[in-house]
Chains A and B, each alone.
Chain A
Amino acid sequence: MKLFGFIIVCLTGGLLLYGTGELPDWGDPHSPASIHLSNDYIEHAMEQTEVPNLVTAVLADYRGYDTMFETAVVFCAGLACFLLLRDFRPKKEYYYRHVPTGVVLHVKNNERQIAPGKEFEDVDKDWVPSDTIIKTVCRILIPFIQIYALYVVAHGDFSPGGGFQGGVIFGSSFILLAISYNLKTLMKRVSEKFLGIFSAAGVLVYVGIGAFSMVLGGHFLDYSQYIPFFGEHHIRALGMLGVEIGVGMAVTAVMAIIYINIVSEGRHDEGL
């Protein structure tokens, strides 16, 4: 099997290497990829959309329909993780830590016998004493990470970034909270229901912006229909901002959903 696989790989690689002879030289300005359609985008995107970042202009305006279904794909990934892993059965065993002495009790029973309070607290199966330095640093860092994520979403039109990147950074701030404290702390702040609604709302914002422009009498995702509401100045940039916010919401929630489901095997109680 190993030899057979190696032969197949070498054969494919040899064919592809033979094929590179026909490709244009690397970095050639006159290669076929950069003489047909892209020049039109580069030269006219600024006057048509007033957005300096060409990648965002093409992503959210010229190819907005494409990006809409990409957001739907991300949403479906979150849904698939939820459906694959979510486990609603009650826990079989509980772990408690006696606060004054630090003894960890392991109770194998379906029902709770000790109510967690001042004397006993709920802990994970592989509980370790929490580290003050990590907790403090993460507590200070997380708000700045979230502000940076919002900055990235808001400045997607003018600088590198946009909804996906900002959403991923915002989602990873949730993940950092779960890693530095524990999963229960995260689930207390953002509940599962909230994440589910948030991810669907992101897709809905995107589709809604597209569909509402049809209601106003234009094409799907035709941002210029919003001129009566926001004025003519930078209307396409504003439309793209709205779309990016939708994408950011969906991506944020989906990243958190995937992480929580994987790390707790769908039980949402304990994790990394």
Chain B
Amino acid sequence: MSWPIDLIVLTFVIFCAIAAISVRDLLGTAILFGAYSFMMCLLWAVMGAVDVAFTEASVGAGVSTVFFVAAVFRTSRRTKD
């Protein structure tokens, strides 16, 4: 594993995390959270944890984003902070 990839992806992960909790629209949060999960999956694939990366790609970036969007559809997009 080469450290530049690691460092770049980790920086992206932190940006995605900050954006996901600070954006004022819950649908935006859902999409940014999906991007965060996908970056995390990339990080694990680089670290050699292929099974964990596969699980995160299908579970974190796939199904939990869908649950998120479904819940936002049934509640509201509005958020104060």
Interface residues of A (CB under 8 A from B): 27, 53, 55-56, 160-162, 164-165, 168-169, 171-172, 175, 255, 258-259, 262-263, 265, 271-272
Chain B residue with Cβ nearest A168:
B58
Q: What count of chain B residues pass the 8 Å CB interface test?
A: 17
A263 interface neighbour in B55, B58, B74, Cβ under 8 Å: B74
Contacts of A162 in B (CB 8 A): 51
Interface residues of B (CB under 8 A from A): 1, 50-51, 53-55, 58-59, 62-63, 66-67, 69-71, 73-74
A161–B70 CB distance below 8 A: no
CA distance A263 to B74 in the complex (A): 6
- State the total of A-B contacts with C-beta under 8 angstroms: 50
Contacts of B55 in A (CB 8 A): 164-165, 168
B62–A168 CB distance below 8 A: yes
Nearest-CB distance from B4 to chain A (Å)?
Answer: 15
CA distance A259 to B74 in the complex (A): 12
Contacts of B58 in A (CB 8 A): 165, 168-169, 172
A161–B59 CB distance below 8 A: no
Contacts of B67 in A (CB 8 A): 258-259, 262
A168-B59, A265-B74 are known contacts. Are A259 and B66 too (CB-CB below 8 A)?
yes
B59–A262 CB distance below 8 A: no
A263–B73 CB distance below 8 A: yes
Contacts of A271 in B (CB 8 A): 70, 73
